[in-house]
Chains A and B, each alone.
Chain A
């Protein structure tokens, strides 16, 4: 049997990056993935709703298994919630959208790739709430450079201190609705730029550029968007150093007699056989909460939990109803290709940047705006009337339908938001599941309300006709930016990981992903997770070479 130098649990963004880096450095790596392998060229293609039996909705009742975010287009790359349950208190919902598939959520993520800034890393110093990150922007900037250069981020430089620029491919052009919102931003004084996406506008590392089909969240057929399978796995496999074990559900981190990590116990998904895999370095990269679940299940009281904070400080960025309606400038215009590209207009946070703080809330939020003819006219079923007039109304409004949404509002880190092991419920493989406790704070509510007002302000500035919407903050988890529960810090008494994502307690155990986040910030988290993984891997390789792990 192969002797492995490292085991990586999970093949998402961070697992894929770690696998590539270590394999290229000559490490023999085993990567475990709980779900199946997919072959993008075979399984992803341009699809039309009428080609599917149920036009995107699935057989009635079937998609309940896949919770909120799956459709008939993509449920096969999502996670079956009945096999993988989790629990909450009845009146405190948490939406946990997962994928169990090779590549994880990189196969269908929204690709938004933003750098966090010192406004976020050092927010506690500015407003006195919570903790600073143990790193500052200058520590992570070189790794942002490295990740962007490799995965390819199309973006425009914005020259804003709260939204640092990076190594960019040319931006995707804005469509008509986005251009109108950009003009409106000049009127309201909001900063605005193209949404930054990990999607190629030029050929890069043998990956073709985007061809603007718009099937991104159902899986990219050519690998123009960053995913493990398109970007990091091919060079990893090319080294010959990687053993990929799909359909392998990790259940425990194994320990040796000296309380060092010695491997992973896992269960074969279809045979239910329990197996052990040994290696001198163990890396958990199976999503923020799955990593924490694995640590909690590995030892009574939680592995690497001398601090007692493992499982605590759960966060998800805020999202809720925004402003939607119609831009009269676009009514009854010729139908254009509006949804072929991803993204939209991005409005970086402009709150609490100057010493004069907002009196109602601390921290900030980012907004996005877009519009135009999408594949399905979602507004049509609530449009009044019927008959020929109705049909003409739908057609006239089709290119004018527009939306301003919250693309990331900071949710405060609070200890009382936490996950624990449910004492009763187990998954299909008899592994105890998570019980999630998470609610919004008064600051979260105030910040959301401010977004709601500003979104309406922007919509009105664009001369848009608003559809009436009630301000309603979605349950935590809804933005699928869940982070925290395994946070990093300099003090082992108040954090699980050091700034290299290495556990304070067990030197040869690393945890990559969003678990280490100290705050959510207002940026999309994936690019920061990748940069922290790149930084952690450098450290890991260095320590392994010096035999200090």
Chain B
């Protein structure tokens, strides 16, 4: 390698370095987009009518208010995808969701009562909705503002004096 080559390499390295750092930081600190395409999802397990009902119900459980909700996170689509995939190893899961769909027809979505909330069907749908929502990019990043899974040089420890003080 000649000195000119070396100079050129150093020059290139200094020019690239800030960009490289910024690029890596970007790669690690910002969560990637969801690789799945949930828009225009066509249900595979639920009938179109049941799917619509399920979607409405998940949007009541986690509504769109000042932050996005189950609708933006495509919670119903994810549920249909999972329940459909249960056919292979856990067919009994599909039975539970068939019963849950029937139950959805039997209640008044505009007036969810206390007994409704004690139903195992309510629990099943709520658990799955919570899982689907808070593991979605919208739920985890936009709503919960999760800060982890990043790339840091030092871990930010607790700097609040009141947490160090005697209780």
Q: Hey, which bits of chain A sit against chain B, CB under 8 A?
A: 46-51, 53-57, 59-62, 64, 172-176, 178-180, 182-184, 186-187, 210-215, 329, 335-341, 373-377, 380-381, 384, 386-388, 390-391, 394-395, 398, 461-463
Contact = CB atoms under 8 A, between A and B. Distances in A.
Contacts of A180: 163, 167
Contacts of A461: 167
Nearest to B112: A386
A186 B89 contact: no
Given A48-B137, A388-B65, A395-B144, A214 B149 contact: yes
B147 interface: yes
B149 to A, nearest CB: 5
B36 A215 contact: no
Given A46-B28, A51-B35, A386-B112, A381 B136 contact: no
Given A46-B28, A172-B155, A376-B135, A340 B150 contact: yes
B131 interface: yes
B89 A390 contact: no
Contacts of A57: 82, 131
B63 interface: yes
Contacts of B35: 51
B86 interface: yes
Interface of B: 28, 31-32, 34-36, 60-63, 65, 67, 69, 78, 81-83, 85-86, 88-90, 93, 112, 117, 126-127, 130-132, 134-137, 140, 143-158, 160, 162-167
Contacts of A336: 147, 156
Given A213-B149, A386-B112, A174 B158 contact: yes
Nearest to A222: B151
Contact of A329 (B36, B134, B154, B162): B162
Contacts of A375: 140, 146, 148-149
A179 B158 contact: yes
Contacts of B153: 211
A176 B160 CA distance: 8
A49 B135 contact: yes
A381 B150 contact: no
A338 B28 CA distance: 16
A214 B148 contact: yes
B167 A212 contact: no
Contacts of A173: 155-158
A59 B89 CA distance: 8
A381 B127 contact: yes
Identify whether the interface residues of A are mostly helix, strand, loop, or mixed. loop
Sort A-B residue pairs by CB-CB distance and give the 10 closest, nearest first: A173-B157, A61-B89, A61-B90, A60-B86, A49-B135, A55-B135, A60-B90, A337-B147, A179-B158, A176-B158
B148 A337 contact: yes
A380 B134 contact: yes
19 contacts: A48-B32, A54-B82, A59-B89, A60-B85, A60-B90, A172-B155, A187-B166, A211-B152, A211-B153, A212-B154, A329-B162, A337-B156, A338-B148, A339-B148, A373-B148, A376-B134, A377-B144, A384-B117, A388-B63
A215 B36 CA distance: 22
B142 to A, nearest CB: 11
A380 B145 CA distance: 15
Contacts of B90: 60-61
A211 B153 CA distance: 6
Most chain A CB inside 10 Å of its own CB: which residue of B93, B126, B166: B126
A374 B153 CA distance: 20
Contacts of B160: 176, 179
Nearest to A392: B65
A184 B166 CA distance: 7
Contacts of A335: 144-147
Contacts of A212: 150-152, 154-155
Given A59-B89, A174-B158, A183-B163, A340 B152 contact: yes
